[in-house]
Structure 1
Amino acid sequence: MDDFAKPKRSRPGRPPGLPSAIDHEFPSHSINSCIMKPNQTHRRRLLQILALTCALSVSHTVTAAEPLRVCASTTDLDSLARLIGGARVQTFCFSKGSEDPHEIELKPSFAKELNRADLYLQVGQGIENAWLEKLMRTVNNDAVRPGKKGNLNLGRAVRPLEGEAANNAPGSFHEDGNPHYFLDPLEGLRAAREIRDKLTELRPEWKAEFAANHDKFRQRLAVALVGEECAKQDDVEKLAVEFEKLKDAAAVKEFLTHHKVGGWLGAFAAYRGQFIVGDHDLWYFFARRFGLEVLGYLEPSPGVPPTTKHVKELVGKMKAKQVRVILSAPYFERRFVDFAAKQSGARPLPMAHQTAARAGTDDYFTMLKHNADQLLAGLKAK
């Protein structure tokens, strides 16, 4: 039993209740306060220790729950990181949507962000060649360097282009391959899956959240690509690749009798095999996905400014093939596009070469939708 709970005893030598001299000199409340003071102090100290322990525990929990810091080379990767990571990531992007991602102006903030980053997302395929090595010389965080745990190069698993599209001109921007694969929704699905897995590797305790965000994104994009029925019944990526490899109209017709393909793939089926022209070498992955053929580009080689001779030759080919559209990125000089359009009769289309390149393309999905809508409208126009 606690000492403070025991009944008070009468002092020996006097009747109960009779006050003594000591009671007058030291009243009972004073004696009790002197007796209790050390124990109260002990209790207060215990409470203080408990409060401090709780505070430290809360502080540790908050630190552990801080979002992953993610740096991204381009707006496509930045958007995918946010779509998959949700509230568990804090992103920093090295480029703006309207810029040419090959040529990024380095800023001191880039090294600062990489030094405290948990993950750096790269496009690869040479798109960072002009500036990444210089940037990395100013970074002390080894974890985010190429090949390390905190670095994810999404270009390493791209399904390569074939034929003429795979011919990368030496000394050009695309010497290491074509890095504009995010214009193909299938490559976006693959990249989202890899980002989910990397985020889970870094923070396994958030696995369920990353998986749920990924599944939501995948379902939305799958329905847009092939339609709701196919998205439910088929392996979307496998179906899209099979559809891509069909050689002629008869094969397409036969395929569509067995698979009720809707969405963007279904809409583009009517224009399969039609030719398009672009300004920069951006659109091979996009064309591959939707069954179109790239006749050529206003640039004679990736990153090389158009010449009068080259553009005139291309215009002649456009007339012969009855090309209806020219796909144009916002950073490309408009005068070349306007000249080719005027000479050929083709319609310039304001395309988004990456997320946030045009109004209404603030995330990866809306960027893809913008491009599909623009091109379908351009091909339908008389």
Structure 2
Amino acid sequence: MHSGHRTMTAFLTVILGLLLVIIGLIFDWPLWAWPIVAGALLVGAAASLVVTHRRKPYIPPERLLEPDVQPVERWERMIKQVSLPSLEEDYDFQFSATVRWRPLDAPANAPVVNPGGLAIEAILDRVRHITRQAPPHRSSLTEHHLNGALATMLPDPSNRVVAMAENVQLSLSDSDRDRLEKLATVRKDEAVWEHERKWEQNRRAYLSGDVLKTPGSAVVWWLAKNDERVDKTVSDIGLLAELSSAANNIPVPEDFHRFVPGLAALRVPGTAVREEARMGPRTPDEYVEELLQGTGLDEDDPRRELFIKRIADAARGAGLHEVAEVLERRRDAFASTDPAYEPSPDHDDFGNPPFDEGQDEFPPPSQDESPG
């Protein structure tokens, strides 16, 4: 039984009922006649439906040109959790949306297509063009961008459908979101550390290359810092000179020794303070050279050789063998330059006996050697 037959039966039943009501009112039927007429009308309608249902149609409805039930083609489809690339490798967006389309008139002899598939492919192409240029941590901003970009019906490449998308959703997986947050934290910490490192390098370069370049520049810098306390700057000159020398790995300039307590004594004649206390240990050759320079005897003075011999004997007697060897080498060098020199086993070349350890003074020079 077709739905059209049922509709027609109901329609005829209603029309017949109205006619019977009009006739009954015109002829003034008694009350007992009304229920009988109504029952007969309903029984007739029911019988018609039963007979129609039992009778098989000669041509099946699906073979008719216009069947009773026409299938409706839907022009929208939902897609969910489609992975699409982002700007960062291995970080994919998850795309969901409702795709809507409308078929276009196909040219003659055009192949049969699935308009829904063409529409979805066209939308995904448009989405990929945007997401591959979007950073993954900007998924919310990109989602709003897609909602605007996909809100217009545009034809697909084959020009068979026009498509758009609604209810766009773009997201990242929870694991990718956690990784991006950790990486962002590390990048921020690294940027702060790099900024602090450069600031420290610039400060060190300023101090070593400008402020502490010389003791004078250090004094000028300190005076600028304490322009109202000149006396403090003067009292700190020694400290500033030491800081400048330490920053440049050089000794304190001699002009600033008088301001450094440990070096001021080196400028006083006859002091026992030695510069090696600041410069490190000295060699026996340096000691001997300083000793000979302190005597004031020239290299061609005969008394210089006598002095060297007796000091060498005294040093060897005191156990200072290295100093004695240096002095003897100096004496031998002097002898090699004087061809007339002939040492005597008992007396030196000036007629003096060997040096006695109990002797405190050198013998006075001979009459030929006395001045004047």
- Check whether TM > 0.5: no
Name the structure, 1 or 2, with higher relative contact order (CA <8 Å, separation 6+).
1
Using structure 2 for the length normalisation, give the TM-score: 0.26
Using structure 1 for the length normalisation, give the TM-score: 0.26
**Bigger CA radius of gyration:** 2
